[in-house]
Amino acid sequence: MNKEGIKLVTIGGGSSYTPELMEGFIKRYDELPIREIWLVDIEDGREKLEIVGAMAQRMWDATPHNVKIYLSYDRKEALKDADFVTTQFRVGLLNARIKDERIPLSYGMLGQETNGAGGIFKALRTIPVILEIVEDMKKLCPNAWLINFTNPSGMVTETVLKYGKWEKVIGLCNVPITSTMKEPKLIGCKEGDLIYKFAGLNHFHWHKVFDLKGNDVTLDIIDAMYDPNVDSGIPANIFDVKFFKEQLVAMKMIPCGYHRYYYREQEMLEHSLEEYNGIGTRGQQVKQTESELFELYKDPNLDHKPEQLTKRGGTYYSDAACECINAIYNNKNVPMVVSTKNNGAVVDLPADSIVEVTSFIGSAGALPVAFGHLESAEKGWIQVMKNMEDVVEKAAVTGDYGLLLQAFILNPLITAGDDAVNVLNELLIAHKAYLPQFKDTIEKLEADGVTIKDEVVKQLIKEGL
């Protein structure tokens, strides 16, 4: 690490989350002596980067710390000699998310950012870019840590490890943090009064909870979750339909919020279709929220994170990144829930796969806590999901259409059959600007006359978005 202070680079610096990232670094400055922060984005994101960059500098100027914010559209310029690189980019911007949601829903299948067909295509667009970033890091900052919270975080992090051959990587998500912050109140405890053990995949994990005497209090929390007068801690972007209590009691574990898409697929699909036919999908709603946030960020007097950012759905992501960097830099060996190499923590999955588990974070990175075997139902789910992710990653790297079709057929949220093929083909065409690995396939589909069914998506494409 640089003795004169830390150089941080954020890829996707024009994100609406960046003010939260700045807040986290400001809060930890006494432990984390930052010298300079580079916010990197693409030309299409210039306006947002300039707005967020100016606000980030105002946030630092309001402190006694002399930290300089640099804005760049040249990734290589920014990465040189970086100590830490964080990634929070969205290939295709929010319009790509809207396509991911609306095309499956037009065929009566779930359209969601990290689950089902939408999650697969977000990975397909992101993986080639993250591998390019890794190649640049090998040349320009070979000792840097890569802290990823670009979704789908698990698949992106695994690609960095397996295909990029970059070991110094940790993936992050805000969902476990939300659980550890909100669940203690359900049983009359404070944050820090409970011990958590998480195991699974990103957006597909379970956890157990113990008190400070070692007593398992998981069932107490499950019982409290069904009190209609309490906040169950579900993320802002997930429709709140209750899990079947008998199922949770039987498994003696608490599933993450995203399990609703699998355990209550019917209700989640019905809600998504209602929004699709009404106020618009989550991506369309977030686009409006983002627009409002950037109007706030333009205020030359605003020098702190606005409360409205919590509506965005990914709150605490950035704070997790700051704490992870702090733990590595200062060898704190503190427990966090991260995506990291399994190494036997979840014995039902390969040792070299990426899992999301409780780990101790220090200068050596993430040291995962062993969870042991999962019961048959959870083991069955996680093995299907991990193998589906593995096939997606291979398809993203190779551009193999047959492999991609295999992933679609494996995915529990995609109804196998002709409609699955239609969804796959339409998504390929809708995202052709960001899928160079499928160029030949897309050209053939277009020559065969494949067209988009959804009118909103057709309009986005017509406008070049």
Could you list the active site residues? 258
Is-contact 140 76, C-beta < 8 A? yes
Is-contact 328 362, C-beta < 8 A? yes
Q: Tokens 């209602």: give the residue.
A: 274
| Helix (H) or strand (E) segment spanning residue 137 | helix 116-140
Round to whole Å and give the CA distance between 124 and 92.
12
Write the DSSP string, 251-297: HTSEE-GGGHHHHTHHHHHHHHHHHHTTT--HHHHHHHHHHHHHHHH
End-to-end CA distance of the chain: 41
Round to whole Å and give the CA distance between 324 and 311.
23
Is-contact 83 8, C-beta < 8 A? yes
CA dihedral 421, 423, 426, 427 (to 10 degrees): -110
Q: What angle do CA 352, 76, 390 make, to 5 degrees?
A: 25
Round to whole Å and give the CA distance between 240 and 182.
15
